[in-house]
Structure 1
Amino acid sequence: MAVNIDELKQLSMIDVAESLGMELKRQSGHTYYWTEHDSLKILANTNRFHWFSRDVGGDVIQLVQSVKDVSFKEAVRFLQEGTFSQVENEMIEPVKQEPFSYVLQPYEHPDFELGRNYLKEERGLTDDTINTFLAGGNLAEATRKKGDYFEPIIVFKYRGLDGKIQGASLQGIVENKVQYPKRGRLKQIMNHSDGLAGFSFDVGTPKRLVFFEAPIDLMSYYELKKDTLQDVRLVSMDGLKKGVISRYTADLLTDGKFSQANSYTSILKALDSLNKTTKLITDDLITIAVDNDKEALKFIEKLKEDNIPFQIDLAPKSDGVKKMDWNEYLQKEKAGEKKMPGEKTSEVIQKKQEKLQEERNLERTRDSDGDGLTDELEKSIGTNPYNSDTDGDGLTDSQEVAMGTNPLKPNPLSKELTTDQLTQLPTLSELIQAKDTKGLSKIMKEGIKDYFNSDQYKNYLEAISKLPSYSANNVMLLLSQNSEVSMVASFKKWQSDFERSVKKGQKALWIFAPYEFKLRDNNGQYKVNENGEIEKGIGFKLVPVFDVSQTQGKEIPQAVYELTDEGKIFDYETLYRALKSVSDDNKVAMHFQEIDSGARGFYNRETNEIAIKRGMTKAQTIKTIIHEMAHSELHNNKIVAEAGEKLTRSTKELQAESVAFVVSNHYGIDTSEYSFAYLANWAKDKESLTDLEAQLSIVQKEASQLIKKVDLKLEKIKTLNLTKDKTKESVFHEKLNRFKEKQSIQEKNKEPKKAKGISI
């Protein structure tokens, strides 16, 4: 009579465990553990078990197989009759094993960057070893999805001699105590993997076998002994499995044909059969290099009881140490290499662990794309740590996580958010705290609309005059955090360049800083240009700076552009010379003339000349010169031809007068009284000033460039004046010395001559 497998699986696992002689204790609720191996847990409510130390689990049949190391048929016989005696093949319906499918192929990463970093930093492996295994084709990095949780993983593939993937074990890269409270990282075998296969690696032409409990132990063993390994196949059992030893031993002796031609049961029995009927199984054929712990030693004793000849190669451990695997031993050896004379190995290991912990803490806080989610978190959920909006739907990854939407899938509602939803989005301070660059950009873009309705524009231009090297976005962002901002630098720059320190308790101001990243196509591959070089893009992240008012220390040196005379009057002549020199360099002639139209000056595009009205105040003259110079650079014939109708008169006047105000203010000339009255007229043309964000950027860029050019001229003029002063001083002193010498000679000539002879 055929056996009904499904009915057997319904047997109580608690009862089956007790019939196997397993002493169970309740851990909590429906969970029990085996007192002899406390990592074996039984879940009574689901009637399933999991043996964590061996990473196996399943139903009652698999429990019997795992605990007693017997075949499927023997386990079924036990559940039927309470005995492990052999049964006839026809008594059991064949089990339909679902074929293994490697579903992670589309999600493999083109590089092995994260996996390499984990194996090097966490496991102590070298690039040479990692590259060797990558070349074997059975090591990969991929993204794994479980529900809404995404994480990067290392894949150790089980590949048959025919090249087909028969299974795989997975190792998590990112630590996550929530998902994996016991281990901290994922460690599991993929569903439907061949239970008698494992991750393997050949050195030369294999003539012997070495078996390990885990792939990383296998790689660590290779790292330690690669200089002496010859003609050997290294095999990971992913636990302690005699069946894996049986399969790979039979395959080695038959050039891989045995497992392809025989049944599961035959493969399980192959090792014992070969040992009993042939002399092929010798002690130099098999080496057991499992963990040096209680469980592995029991496994070794059982192999000895079965009279299987083999060698033992366990990782050395000190007295009192309960467990030592090959990866732990590798890290211990590497720590020992770096220890100082007289320093204990345990102390070295502790110091190394402390250093690694510091590096991990820094790594956990890194946020490369500035979206408020750490790189580590982004890698774990599958978003791009170098792109603040992975799915490109207009909402940053951090906003989507906060809203509960999927950051990997474009959100169709992103463009249809209601007013209530918008008010629930983070505030400016929250966005800065979250380092949400895209969210900040959106808020500032909306804020630009208010610039002509208040004093904001004036404040903005004044800020540009103080911070000419910063972009329009950064100036607006700084103003939103500190309306009195005047001079900013990083914490280190204040110390190194200005010998000043940030006052205790000061909060940083945040600005955008560019960073470079590699571009990928829709398939996740790096984009390559015609020269075979990887194309790169520019992104922005938030970095901290501090205003001068937040610092203390050495007095700030006077800048070359501070042209006031003890704060009373600016140096008109010097500034005029610098501006005219810049205009001459641009091949734009400048002259003064009478202008009857009421204009203070104009730029003639046809003749490429600037005319300035005579008789104005010094401040008005300088401001007008700068205004017309801005026209000459922004609105010459070439620029106007390229811009076409887009460059209206309103736009041109807004740009030129704004630049004039910024540059004048930079050099200590207050022109706000007439600049903003002038701007008010042009600002009424709202249709011509629709793209305010672009206008602000143009104003900032032109003002910044003009200030740099003028500063260079001022520096030269200042140096020249000093040289002239020194020259004049030298000439004066030379004449004075000659005069003194002449006077001395004359004085000597006037002295009366003494008579010759003896004085009495």
Structure 2
Amino acid sequence: MSYQRKSKEDVQAEVKALAEQATEQVKKFETSFEARREFFDFMTEMYNYSPKNQMLIRSQYDGALGVAPFGYWKKEGFSVQKGEKGIKIFVPKTVSYFKNSEGITKQLSKATPNEKIDLQLGRYEVTKQNYFSVGSVFDITQTNAKPEDYPKIYPNRPYELNIEDPKQIDAIEKELLSIAKSRDIPVYNSQREYPGIELGAAKGVFFTNSNGGKGIVISDRINQTERLAVLTHELAHAALHDPSELNKNGYWSTHDLSSGRATNVKELQAEMVSYVVSKHHGLDTSEAAIPYIQSWTEDIKDFDKNADVFKDIQVTSQDFIKQIDESMARSQSKANVQTNSKEALAR
């Protein structure tokens, strides 16, 4: 049977149905902290997708490990198994329009040769509109890929991360410090190194001062694994809540943090980023993080009204995870080359 292109009405109806499905997941999120915790855990695996798409993926395929479009699996040499149903997600689309000399609004892609010339000369104003369509993805477990293939498909993902290995803990900390360095934020290992800050019972703090200086101070009373979580928490504050970045798009979307809920938003975002990044790398901080997160989510239950808050968490987590994983993958690749070279010389 030949493929039949869906009409605009059909696409809109499908988007509406998917939005209603997402809304059902949102209601669960808002009424149950356990549902929120499960969503936070799922976020550690699907950090590349928007929070709404994360909810949709989980509602259709709980336990998904890694999803991708049909074409991706084919390109990687794997096939989706017969009978598997696609996982529906929102796909953002931007369409450009212009109004021609006759006052008719047209899509940029449908401009005539003469209109294209006029467009190049700047005679028509081009506007853009954002839409959502519906796309399908498939989880890796829906393909013929085997567990031993997973590292090849996701080379940067630490499937076998042994957090008990001091070298791997050191590698994660090294990358977190690199993130701090890239933002010109010095990290002090105790308040003795920066006596102007009094930590008290706090485990860490991100600070800025009137002279434009900034930094992170970490308590020396915590162990190394806890230090990683605290450092990530403070880096999230630096990425999202640095007042000196307010006029430089320093906040991805949560621009207004001057209201009474500012502290709640800041602490929720920082601890959520720490939780997602830490758990992705094998550090389970839930014993301390979940009660902490719960205390800040009591008045931030309306997911839609706080979509920007969760989007910032997702973007920041993605940014940190990507940098850490890519560096660790490069280091592992370099180590493998050195090992292979030594083995070759020994033969």
Pairwise TM-score range, normalised by the shorter structure: 0.7 to 0.9
- Alignment-mate amino acid for residue 472 of structure 1: P
Matched, 1:511 2:66: no
Aligned mates of 1:531, 1:520 — CA distance in 2: 10
Q: Which letter maps to 1:469?
A: N
Shift of 1:367: 2.3
Post-superposition CA distance 1:486-527 (Å, at most 9, x none): 211122322321x33222222111112233434367x75238
Change (3 A) 1:446 1:524: farther
1:569-590 CA deviation, whole Å, 9 max, x = no partner?
A: 5720111111111211111111
Amino acid at match of 1:556: D
TM-score, normalising length from structure 1? 0.37
Greater C-alpha radius of gyration: 1
1:597 counterpart (183, 200, 203):
200
Does residue 623 (structure 1) correspond to residue 229 (structure 2)? The answer is yes
Distance 1:618 1:703 in 2: 20
- The correspondence for 1:701, drawn from 315, 318, 327, is 315
Residue 650 of structure 1 corresponds to which residue in structure 2?
264
Q: Matches of residues 336-351 of structure 1 in structure 2 within 5 Å?
A: none
Alignment of 1:541 with 2:126, yes or no, is: no
Could you report, residue by residue, the CA deviation over 1:65-101 in whole angstroms, capped at 9, with x for unpaired residues?
Answer: xxxxxxxxxxxxxxxxxxxxxxxxxxxxxxxxxxxxx
Quote the residue 1:526 is aligned against. Answer: 106
1:440 to 2:18 alignment:
yes
1:683, CA displacement in angstroms? 1.8
- Shift of residue 485, structure 1, vs aligned partner: 1.6
Deviation at 1:368, TM superposition (A): 6.1
Match among 576, 580, 591 for residue 177 of structure 2: 580
Q: Which residue of 1 aligns with 2:33?
A: 454
Query: Is 1:551 paired with 2:148?
Result: no
Equivalent position to 2:43, from 464, 467, 477: 464
Q: Deviations over 1:91-124 (max 9, x none)?
A: xxxxxxxxxxxxxxxxxxxxxxxxxxxxxxxxxx
| Aligned mates of 2:269, 2:55 — CA distance in 1 | 17
Alpha carbons 1:623, 1:671 under 8 Å: kept: yes
Give the match for residue 252 of structure 2.
Answer: none
Describe the SS at the equivalent of 2:33: coil
SS in 1 for 2:44: helix
Question: Alignment partner of 1:526: what SS?
Answer: strand
Does the CA-based 8 Å contact 2:177-2:187 persist in structure 1? yes
Which amino acid in 2 is paired with 1:372?
Answer: D
Q: What is the 5 A alignment of 1:53-452? A: 361-362=2-3, 365-367=4-6, 369=8, 372=10, 388=12, 398=13, 436-445=14-23, 447-452=25-30
Cα-to-partner distance string for 1:384-426 (whole Å, 9 max, x where unaligned): xxxx3xxxxxxxxx4xxxxxxxxxxxxxxxxxxxxxxxxxxxx
Amino acid of the structure 1 residue aligned with 2:130: I
Q: State how far apart, in whole Å, the 1-side matches of 2:163 and 2:182 are.
A: 31
TM-aligned CA deviation for residue 610 of structure 1: 1.0
Shift of 1:609: 0.7
- What is the CA deviation profile of residues 160-196 of structure 1, one whole-angstrom value per residue up to 9, with x for unaligned ones? xxxxxxxxxxxxxxxxxxxxxxxxxxxxxxxxxxxxx
Relative to structure 1, is the Cα distance of residues 613 and 509 closer, same or farther in structure 2, using a 3 angstrom cutoff?
Answer: same
1:9-24 → structure 2 map (5 Å cutoff): none
What is the SS of the residue equivalent to 2:82? Answer: coil
Mapped to 1, the partners of 2:284 and 2:157 lie a distance apart of: 14
1:675 maps onto 2:254 in alignment: no
One of 52, 58, 63 as aligned partner of 1:473? 52
Give the direction of change, closer, same or farther, for the CA distance of 1:690–1:485 in structure 2 (3 Å limit): closer
- What is the CA-CA distance between 1:653 and the residue it aligns to? 0.5
1:640–1:673 Cα change, 3 Å: farther
- What is the SS of the residue equivalent to 1:708? helix
Alignment length (residue pairs): 310
Structure 1 residue 625: deviation in Å? 1.1
Q: Which amino acid aligns with 1:632?
A: A
Q: State the partner residue of 1:482.
A: 61
Deviations 1:270-324 (CA, angstroms, capped at 9, x unpaired): xxxxxxxxxxxxxxxxxxxxxxxxxxxxxxxxxxxxxxxxxxxxxxxxxxxxxxx
C-alpha deviation, 1:636, in angstroms? 0.3
Distance in 2, matches of 1:565 and 1:687, equals: 33
Q: Does structure 2 retain, via aligned residues, the 8 Å contact 1:526–1:535?
A: no
Name the one with the larger helix percent. 2
Query: TM-score of the superposition, structure 2-length normalised?
Result: 0.76
Q: SS at 1:455's partner residue?
A: helix
State the 1:722 CA deviation: 4.8
Contact 1:514 1:540 in 2 (8 A): yes
Contact conserved, 1:651 with 1:688, CA < 8 A, in 2?
Answer: no
Equivalence for 1:610: 216
Deviations 1:196-223 (A, max 9, x none): xxxxxxxxxxxxxxxxxxxxxxxxxxxx
Task: Assess, with a 3 A threshold, how the Cα gap between structure 1 residues 561 and 579 changes in structure 2: closer, same or farther.
Answer: farther
How many angstroms does 1:616 deviate by? 2.2
Match of 1:306 in 2: none
Query: Is the 1:630–1:659 Cα contact (8 Å) retained in structure 2?
Result: yes
Deviations 1:34-85 (Å, cap 9, x if unpaired)? Answer: xxxxxxxxxxxxxxxxxxxxxxxxxxxxxxxxxxxxxxxxxxxxxxxxxxxx
> Relative to 1, partners in 2 of residues 1:635 and 1:457: Cα closer, same or farther, differing over 3 Å?
same
Give SS of 1:501's match.
coil
Residue 305 of structure 2 corresponds to residue 712 of structure 1: no
Higher RCO, Cα 8 Å, sep 6+: 2
CA RMSD of aligned residues (A): 3.4
Q: SS state of the match for residue 484, structure 1? A: coil
Distance 1:636 1:619 in 2: 25
Runs of 4+ in 1 over 6 A off after TM superposition: 687-690
Per-residue CA deviation, residues 11-48 of structure 1 (Å, 9 max, x unaligned), is: xxxxxxxxxxxxxxxxxxxxxxxxxxxxxxxxxxxxxx
> Matches of 1:467 and 1:609 in 2, distance apart?
31
Question: 3-state SS of the aligned residue for 1:503?
Answer: coil
Distance 2:270 2:22 in 1: 23
In structure 2, do the counterparts of structure 1 residues 440 and 465 end up closer, same or farther at CA, with 3 Å as the change threshold? same
Mapped partners of 1:483, 1:712: distance in 2: 27
Contact 1:657 1:679 in 2 (8 A): yes
Deviation string, structure 1 residues 233-289 (Cα, Å, up to 9, x no partner): xxxxxxxxxxxxxxxxxxxxxxxxxxxxxxxxxxxxxxxxxxxxxxxxxxxxxxxxx
Cα distance between partner residues in 2 of 1:630 and 1:621:
14
Aligned equivalent of 2:239: 633
Secondary structure of 1:511's counterpart equals strand
1:455 and 1:714 mapped to 2: Cα distance?
33
Identity among equivalent positions (%) equals 23
1:561: Cα distance to partner? 4.0
Going from structure 1 to structure 2, the CA distance change for 1:563 and 1:621 (only over 3 Å counts) comes to farther
Give the distance between the partners of 1:440 and 1:476, measured in 2 at CA.
Answer: 11
